[in-house]
Amino acid sequence: MSQPLHPALHAAICTFAATEWGSKNVANDAQGALTVLTETWDIDNTLHQRSYKWSEVFAVLASTRNSWWLLPLTNKLCTLSGSQIYRPYARRARILKKLLLGFIRIAPLVWARQRVIIVSARPILLQQLVTEVTGEREPVFSLLLGTPGVHRKLTAQVMRPSGEILGYVKLPLTEAAIGRVANEAAILRKLAAFPELRPHIPRVMYSGEWQGGQILLQSAGPPSTGPIRFGLPHQRFLDALRSVEHRDIAGSMLVSAMRARWRAIEAALDLKLRTLGTRALDIAERDLAHCILACGIGHGDFTPWNTRLTDNGTLFVFDWESATCDTPRSWDIFHFHGQTATLLIKKKHGSLFPSCNSVLEKASLFLYLIDRVCRSYELGSQTTAGISHLKGVLQQELA
């Protein structure tokens, strides 16, 4: 008996399996991709009945209620290697993944309760692209469908049959995500022009228009996860990033631009948040009136889960979708500490951020927090819990 597939996951699989005929829908014909759900392995007859030249079987696993990862069942090496596409940092998620890997090693296939097979009359277009770029004639894929939102995308980990990871493919699933993927490709190419940054970033293997959207194929990084404590590797990376492009911007200009963004979303805010934000902007305007802030390229989502660590201690940083230019240099540090303290350490008392050593740093922190609120509304990604959290942080810092 087959299990129903969530519509979002079904759509993502269609995007992944799109053929050179531009098939966006799963079709039972010889010139498109066909998706078959099954709980058994009685699929040989299905494959033989039609002229299918390409097939891939995945185990479907839920990472959250609305996010899934698909592990290839090609062989145990690929299944284990494919699991690296999802690297949880939270303690409970890490334990659950460790148990899963144990099941994969000792009880092959028993753990894979829901499976999906994708078959096509010809090699899918993505396989053709990967073969052309990497030379691997039989690439294997592991898939991760990210959390819902305006920037939702499908990420595919590309492997050899031996399990060796060749790179990662990003396929945007929304209009907004197309721009983000294109931005990441542009930023990575820009940073690659500087030799001192190349050890820290993925290499763009291919990027361009794809099936009416955008695609990015980038190289894989080191296997070791990045540390959750801000330390010397992080500081060295940020110093290297700051050295390649910098610009001094008058504090008054930054405050003026931020106040305009705040006024544009003010009507959507509750009274308390409007009051807190206006107060923070007033303080920043006062303290930055005659100051200059050092700005440059900012990663935009500098967190432990977007980093890896090489054997020689070099920090490797990926996921540059949110990168911007002319960003105050302190914002990546604020973001790292804030996200780590909130999501990993789960700090409940005191400031989430290290002590600001100057009035200028404190004013920059206020601008960072206002930017976080503005961005969530501008992108339509605000949630009740997220805004409530930012409101609490603003209140804490203003106190």
Note the pLDDT tens digit of each residue in 136-169: 999 999 999 988 888 999 999 999 999 999 999 9
Same-domain check for residues 89 and 177: yes
Same-domain check for residues 168 and 100: yes
Same-domain check for residues 196 and 270: no
Residue 287 lies in a domain: yes
Asked if residue 265 lies in contact with residue 372, where contact means CB atoms within 8 angstroms, the answer is no
Given 194, 219, 244, which residue is the final one in a domain? Answer: 219
Same-domain check for residues 260 and 285: yes
Residue 285 lies in a domain: yes
Q: Say how many domains are in the chain.
A: 2
Q: What is the per-residue pLDDT for 38?
A: 52
User: Would you put residue 351 in left (φ > 0), alpha (ψ -120 to 50) or beta?
Assistant: beta
Q: Does position 269 have pLDDT exceeding 70, yes or no?
A: yes
Given 219, 253, 285, which residue is the final one in a domain? Answer: 219
Q: What is the per-residue pLDDT for 25?
A: 38
Residue 224 lies in a domain: no
In the sheet where 54-64 sits, what is the strand order? 33-38, 115-120, 54-64, 67-72, 140-145, 153-159, 165-172, 213-219, 204-210
Owning domain of residue 290: 232-398
Residue 71 lies in a domain: yes
Q: Does position 381 have pLDDT exceeding 90, yes or no?
A: no
For residue range 319-333, what is the model confidence (pLDDT) as tens digits? 999 999 999 999 999
Percent of the chain whose pLDDT exceeds 70: 90
Whole-number mean pLDDT of the chain? 88
Same-domain check for residues 258 and 205: no
Cα 251 to Cα 110: distance, rounded to the nearest angstrom: 60
Q: What is the per-residue pLDDT for 31?
A: 43
**Selected residue with higher pLDDT from 299 and 67:** 299
Same-domain check for residues 255 and 139: no
For residue range 105-142, what is the model confidence (pLDDT) as tens digits? 888 677 888 888 887 777 888 999 999 999 999 999 99
Same-domain check for residues 379 and 289: yes
Same-domain check for residues 197 and 255: no
Q: Does position 35 have pLDDT exceeding 80, yes or no?
A: no
Percent of the chain whose pLDDT exceeds 90: 66
Residue 394 lies in a domain: yes
Same-domain check for residues 207 and 296: no
Same-domain check for residues 80 and 163: yes
pLDDT confidence bin for 63, thresholds 50/70/90: confident
**Looking at residue 334, which CATH number applies to its domain?**
3.90.1200.10
Instruction: Tell me what the mean pLDDT of segment 46-54 comes to.
Output: 60
Q: Does position 340 have pLDDT exceeding 70, yes or no?
A: yes
Asked if residue 319 lies in contact with residue 306, where contact means CB atoms within 8 angstroms, the answer is yes
Same-domain check for residues 23 and 145: yes
Same-domain check for residues 56 and 144: yes
